[in-house]
Amino acid sequence: MRFTVIDTIPFQPDRAALVKRLRLRDGSSYLSDLERLVDEAEAVAKPKALYKVAFIDDRGDDYVVVGGVRLDSRVLAVNLDPVHRIFPYVATCGVELDAWAHAQDDMLYKYWADIIKEVAVREAIQALFEHMTETYGLGKMMSPGSLEDWPMPQQRPLFAILGDIEGAIGVQLSDSFLMTPNKTVSGLRFAAAEDFASCQLCPRDNCPGRRAPYDDTLYDRKYRKIQS
């Protein structure tokens, strides 16, 4: 099955929220500059996302094979044990907004543009997840690099499952497994009865993206292999 592209995502960032995040005070001379940048960003931004319905061909204790491509992860294999299909995805701020941000010639404005790109990719993620939830009832997700058990090099097989991502939405994967535009996220979603979030296995303190508390016994209870 070919992937589904979502490329009609509206982009109208919350300007008051941006002002607060950038810590600009009322009456600041920078407010008009920020307004100008947001106007420019809205005119060019085209956040995008894509996903694919893919089926599990084979599985083992610490891997699954999807469309002939092997994904290595004990946590992923256990989480996918009760399911037969997954939904790999990529969401991005878009190459248009990325090019606009790189064209800024002031370091402060480059920083602001990067924050605006972050808002755009969040809009893409929200639109993608809403579509996938409404269409397939999905709730669980994992992303390469979110856990030591499923590291960044697993971006390569995930991209291989999806196909020509660059041709569809302009996202490239480097030899060091970083995505361009930099404000791009990837992962997979799946349907399962038991709740899961990667945050439950991540001990990082003060993480701004945390969606669930760390459970220091979960890995031993559910994922650690029993030695024969």
CATH number for 75: 3.40.109.40
Give the count of domains, the chain.
Answer: 1
Domain assignment of residue 228, yes or no: no
Domain assignment of residue 183, yes or no: yes
Residue 9 pLDDT greater than 80, yes or no: yes
pLDDT of residue 226: 62
How many whole angstroms separate alpha carbon 86 and alpha carbon 53?
A: 6
Residue 204 pLDDT greater than 80, yes or no: no
Residue 59 Cα to chain centre, angstroms: 24
Domain assignment of residue 47, yes or no: yes
pLDDT of residue 142: 87
Mean predicted lDDT score pLDDT of the chain = 90
pTM: 0.86
Mind listing the pLDDT tens digit for each residue in 34-76?
Answer: 999 999 999 999 999 999 999 999 999 999 999 999 999 999 9
pLDDT of residue 82: 81
Domain assignment of residue 173, yes or no: yes
Q: Are 75 and 223 spatial neighbours (Cβ–Cβ below 8 Å)?
A: yes
With helix as H, strand as E and coil as C, how does 97-160 read?
HHHHHHCCCCHHHHHHHHHHHHHHHHHHHHHHHHHHHHHHCCCEEECCCCECCECHHHHHHHHH
Residue 105: both structure tokens together: 């010639």
Which residue type occupies 189?
A: R
Domain assignment of residue 162, yes or no: yes
Q: Are 186 and 25 spatial neighbours (Cβ–Cβ below 8 Å)?
A: no
Q: What's the domain range around 190?
A: 4-223
Mind listing the pLDDT tens digit for each residue in 153-191?
Answer: 999 999 999 999 999 999 999 999 999 999 999 999 988
Mind listing the pLDDT tens digit for each residue in 86-137?
Answer: 999 999 999 999 999 999 999 999 999 999 999 999 999 999 999 999 998 8
Domain assignment of residue 161, yes or no: yes
